[in-house]
Amino acid sequence: MANILVIYSTTDGHTRSICERLKKVIEAQNHSVVVSWMSDDPDIDLKPFDKIVIGASIRYGKHQKQVYEFIEKNQSLLEGKPNAFFSVNVVARKPEKNTPASNPYLVKFLKQIAWQPQHLAVFAGRLDYPKYTYIDRQMIRLIMWMTKGPTAPDTVVEFTDWDKVDKFGRLIGEI
């Protein structure tokens, strides 16, 4: 039985939902899982954990600054343990952009950091226009219009492939 940390950064809360699903899948394999939000615990002690998983959402093409800082601060500890990273973004709704090798945001991110995660995943996120601020709603609608996505201001769409999330959770349990 492993003690596993799933730590995440989120903009609108959907990455947390994915982390909670991963927790259920991993715990079903008789592991202990702690889910933690980077904003709540940026100085979490990684030493007690046997495996570490980092999840991060995208907003306007970038992961949050705290993700880069967390990785840089903890790189040596991350490299010394079984680890994984996953990115959550709406562009991953497209089949040609939903793998670690084909998702432009993950590819760019990996070029910007020194740490190279042992296991990677990309999950499509959630679009929730009513939840966004006026400015975010308009900006995201423009991006969706340019990428041929849904633009109606009352649209709420969850693009996440939960079977893919479950498969990644089983992988984490096995590494």
Domain locations in the chain?
Answer: 3-125+160-174, 127-159
Question: Which pLDDT band, with edges at 50, 70 and 90, does 41 fall under?
Answer: confident
**Single pTM value for the model:** 0.93
CA trace torsion 101, 103, 109, 112 (10° rounding): 60
The SS3 of residue 9 is strand
pLDDT at 147: 87
| Mean pLDDT (whole number) for 142-152 | 90
Question: Which pLDDT band, with edges at 50, 70 and 90, does 61 fall under?
Answer: confident
- Cα dihedral sign, 131-132-138-143: negative
**Proportion of the chain above pLDDT 70, given as a percent:** 100
pLDDT at 6: 97
CB 123 within 8 A of CB 85: no
pLDDT at 129: 94
Joined tokens for residue 60: 């306007």
pLDDT at 59: 85
The SS3 of residue 8 is strand
| Mean pLDDT (whole number) for 17-28 | 97
27 Cβ contact partners less than 8 Å away, ≥ 6 residues apart: 33
Q: Is residue 39 predicted with pLDDT exceeding 90?
A: no
What is the distance between the alpha carbons of residues 94 and 62, in angstroms, rounded to a whole number?
18
| Mean pLDDT (whole number) for 32-36 | 95
Backbone angles phi, psi at 21, to 5 degrees: -65, -45
* In this structure, CATH architecture of domain 3-125+160-174: 3-Layer(aba) Sandwich (3.40)
